[in-house]
Amino acid sequence: MSDANERDGTPSPNADATVPIAPPIDPPVDRDEVFARLRFSLDDARRQPAGQGASEHDQAERRHQIRSSQVRITEALMPEIHRMVRQACERLLIESPPPFFMSASPSANAHCLVDGGEPVVILDAGLFALLEVEEVAAVVGHELGHWGMRHPPPIAEHDSPVVTALEREGARAAEISADRVALAAAPDVPTALRAEIKLACGLSGRHLRLDGLEAFLEQIDRGRIEADRKWEAFSTHPELQFRFWAQHRFAATDRFRSIRGGSGGERWQEVEREIEERFLSLGGGLAFRWTVDCLHEGLAWAGTLLVASDDAVNEREREQLVQLVGAVWAEDATAYARRHGLEAVRRRAMETLEPLRHAPRRTHERLERSLREFAHAIDAAARLDEVMSVVRGSLRG
């Protein structure tokens, strides 16, 4: 946090543009506040992973394997690397750094074992063949970000494509959060961005013109966004160009500068909306369409359960249900209720809403808000609690 604010500057393709300057923000007081300020708004801490984590026995075995087969990074053995790790943790206000180990792997990668307890971070030796030691601080920050923000473990394949797409969207949002922690853990923003470029192309500084970052930023900022590509919906990581651009934009905000002990910058809320919009246009289209379909179908069955729970559907209720979900859905769902009964409607509602368990919090809030408004419109407040219990039970599992 003590790094000079001017070191956080990075080339901007819009350097001559006038940007809104926000009032000063107090610096964070502890590690939890640092991570909270760095979390991407679409990285939902309440989003539930569908898979099950490893057992305590498996976790203990994995930790023992790391400690017995890899070399721990200590001040006595690896002083320069140990200093870098310690300073990265200090910038994140982590008072007691977790154990770090060095793997002999030639790959330029890092891993963080997160199982609910103290994290264990493994750095591959190949990182130091590609990056300068200070650039590795960004990699350290990224891995600590996944731990500090309690991101779920790697995603398994699921039978439901809806669940898979929603979890992939959550994983991409988590990567944006971790990228911001990388910015905060590095000595300055250009160092973090250089690390990103080197890791993406596999070239060291010997083959790169590091002053070319500005040209790369201009290319990203001015390029046309090719939105809603199906393959991106199943990727766990956003594309490089977006990640680089999102880091650059966030680094210009008042929120980030306050974390680094500085002041000024663009208003975080405005920049965050810009990043959200671009994030949802890249890879989120398929998840969005499936979510909308599930939400609409879930509303239809929950709304039918609400209007038919007193064994009668009057004209006012029918008209309001048509406004809520459309004439076709309203007619078919109420006809289904007449033929099969309320218990069958309840089961259909639960089955339809179950995939939304993995949707972000804003989707759950929208669903509940729509049902409350619908219940108010048909004077069914007395029957709402029972329907809401079905909805919340489906969303929570």
pLDDT tens readout for residues 197-228: 899 889 888 888 767 677 777 766 655 555 55
- R_g (Cα) of the chain, nearest Å: 25
* Residue 61 pLDDT: 77
d(CA 51, CA 387): 27
d(CA 266, CA 258): 11
Between the CA atoms of 287, 288, 294 and 296, what dihedral angle is there, to the nearest 10 degrees?
A: -170
What is the pTM for the complete model shown?
0.77
* Residue 164 pLDDT: 80
β-strand pairing of 100-103 with 120-124: parallel
Residues of the chain with confidence (pLDDT) below 70: 1-24, 45-57, 59, 115-117, 154-159, 210, 212, 219-234, 283-286, 397
* Residue 219 pLDDT: 67
* Residue 355 pLDDT: 85
* Residue 359 pLDDT: 82
- Check if the beta carbon of residue 34 is closer than 8 Å to that of residue 28: yes
Characterize 71-91 residue by residue with b for buried, 16 or more Cβ atoms within 10 angstroms of its Cβ, and e for exposed.
Answer: eebeeeebeebbebbebbbeb
Residues near 208 by Cβ (< 8 Å), separated by ≥ 6?
194, 197, 198, 201
* Residue 192 pLDDT: 95
Give the total residue count for the chain: 397
Question: Token digits for 191?
Answer: 């160092």
d(CA 261, CA 74): 28
DSSP assignment, residue 117? S
* Residue 170 pLDDT: 87
